[in-house]
Chains A and B, each alone.
Chain A
Amino acid sequence: MDIVPEITRESITNLIFNDKREDGRALDEYRDISIETNVISKAEGSARVKIGGTQVIVGVKPQLGSPFPDTPDLGVLMTNCEMLPMADPTFEPGPPGDDSIELARVVDRGIRESELVELDKLCVEEGKHVWMLFIDLHVIDNCGNLFDTAELAVMAALKSTKIPTATIVDDEVVIDKENTFDLPINNEVAMCTFVKIGDKMVLDPTLSEERVASARLNVGVTKEGRICAMQKGGAHPLTKDDIFSAVNTAISKTKELIEYL
């Protein structure tokens, strides 16, 4: 059902108005969260994360490549997301669409802007060889709130990532896959997603809440409570108060999320 039945819109809106939800949660409460790491032995880092019924698998694979000319001594992060058609009856096979690209970019922003990956330690030979980290997000089940699930999965996967040692011998890069080091990470980040239903900001929306919502707000926050990424989505506006209250909630809730890591 792509079109939300009018009575469903009404009933969800009425529930939220009374600070209630279909699954009995508070407006600022997450569904059950589970995190598993090292789920794929062929990936150097991996995680499977579930928030409620929503499920994302992330694999991290490092590859040697050339640095960007303006940052010759820094490694490279690449985040790609596949919203697999298995995850949702409305997802279509094919190259990533707008939603998929937005998801990848917003999740990437949280990781990138918090500068938690020490990219300088991923440099093998300045200007020539650096590690490029391919972070591939596989959305396998969509029951709402892909953003927070994906951010948590990427964070968990990065924390489990092992990088092979690479040395330069006679101008050649020699990779030793037996000797690895933990991906240097100096921070942690999590994301809180809210949707606006009626006048309320609702955390960790389910699919039906997402569908009746007028707008969405993603807030990425670091371990120290600093805001590192945001995105407003959806067809309707948010007020300044909506945003400030969401940010305030996000700063306390991301702490809870980070404890799962």
Chain B
Amino acid sequence: MIYVEDKNLVIPGQILADDDYYPGRGTFKEDGKICSSLIGLVSLRNKKIRVIPLKSKYVPKKGDVVIGKINDVRFSMWDVDINSPYSGILPAFEVFGRDKKELNKVYDVGDVLFLRVIDVDEVKKAKLGLKGRGLGKFKGGIIVDISPTKVPRLIGKKGSMINMIKNKTNCKIVVGQNGLVWVKGDEDMEQLTREIIHTIEVEAHTSGLTNKIKNKLCLAIDGELPVEETEEEFVLEKPKLQNFKEELEEEERAEAEAKLKDESEEIQEAEVESESDDVEEDAEEEIEVESESDDVEDEAEEEKETEDKPNFYDVIEELKKKNQNKKDKNLSYSDNSKNNSFILNNR
């Protein structure tokens, strides 16, 4: 027996279902009843109930990418504030290997870095590392902070939201899973992006948000609403596109090898997990497809994008994304060649 529907708003202690369902994250089982432990939205997938929190502190998880601030420099490590009840440490070894160098000459107190959580110990202290493309110290730009629970919404389905913002504002944007966002671009665009990000945070659970944000951006930047280039026109039928998809992947692989990956892809990778939480209003089928990979997520975090059954919508989205990424890449590539400042290579 179930007492709630998918996407219902629930509060702590609220009974969600009897025990013919499975308690997922954000729930607990007591006396044969599954109850919510949080204020959040119900996510119902194949008899598994989860509650997606509306508000929550970031708790570090192995493999996450986060934005952190150097709080202290010690003998052989940096203390890093990762916007969490748990601070992170960046061991000197992760940066220098066996070399001995003065730590504060490399990263000093107040520096903001893009890092990966390489391990979390039993008291949740996070060990951080910088091995990976796109990781390192930020130069310039601004930091915007949002609730970590709103990160998936900011990214959007397969990066649709974040790529749209990047495109419109011409800003580089890096999203940490701990709710900190780095934005760099034209000064006014940075401020506009900050405003847009906060709007997304506040309106995360309203429908049609991507379009609303798009209109807002277009009004602010172009002074007019965008020409209707509706996505519906692509969703004609569902032809078999298996080969097309493979071609795309092929192309992507080649491209990835040819060029340096920029930071946007780095996030894309890390964001896979969060995508399912994203509530997109149209494209019912899309959600269906998503949901299949959804259950895998809890158990195995990595590599589920490939398991998605491709449909036409997906392919189009990817194609668009790729085009956007190309632009982004060019942009950041040329930027990197000018001064190798943004991504600091540590070896």
Contact = CB atoms under 8 A, between A and B. Distances in A.
Interface of A: 1-11, 14-15, 18, 20, 22, 24
Contact of A9 (B81, B110, B138, B141): B110
Given A5-B110, A5-B143, A10-B140, A15 B187 contact: yes
Contacts of B110: 3-6, 9
Contacts of A5: 69, 110-112, 143
A14 B187 contact: yes
Contacts of A24: 191
Given A1-B69, A15-B187, A24-B191, A7 B142 contact: yes
A17 to B, nearest CB: 10
Interface centre among A5, A9, A11, A15 (most CB of B within 10 A): A5
B193 to A, nearest CB: 12
B168 interface: no
- 10 pairs of A and B residues whose beta carbons are closest in the complex: A6-B110, A11-B142, A5-B112, A5-B69, A3-B110, A7-B112, A5-B110, A6-B111, A8-B143, A3-B71
A18 B191 CA distance: 13
B263 interface: no
Given A3-B109, A6-B110, A22-B191, A11 B141 contact: yes
Contacts of B81: 1, 3
Interface residues of B, number: 19
Interface string B95-116: 0000000000000111110000
A10 B209 CA distance: 32
Given A1-B81, A6-B108, 8 more contacts: A1-B83, A5-B112, A7-B141, A7-B142, A8-B143, A11-B142, A22-B191, A22-B194
A3 B69 contact: yes
A11 B112 contact: no
Interface in B193-212: 194
Given A1-B69, A1-B81, A5-B143, A11 B190 contact: yes
Given A15-B187, A18-B187, A20-B187, A7 B143 contact: yes
A88 to B, nearest CB: 16
A143 B141 CA distance: 23
B187 A6 contact: no
A8 to B, nearest CB: 6
B139 interface: yes
A140 to B, nearest CB: 20
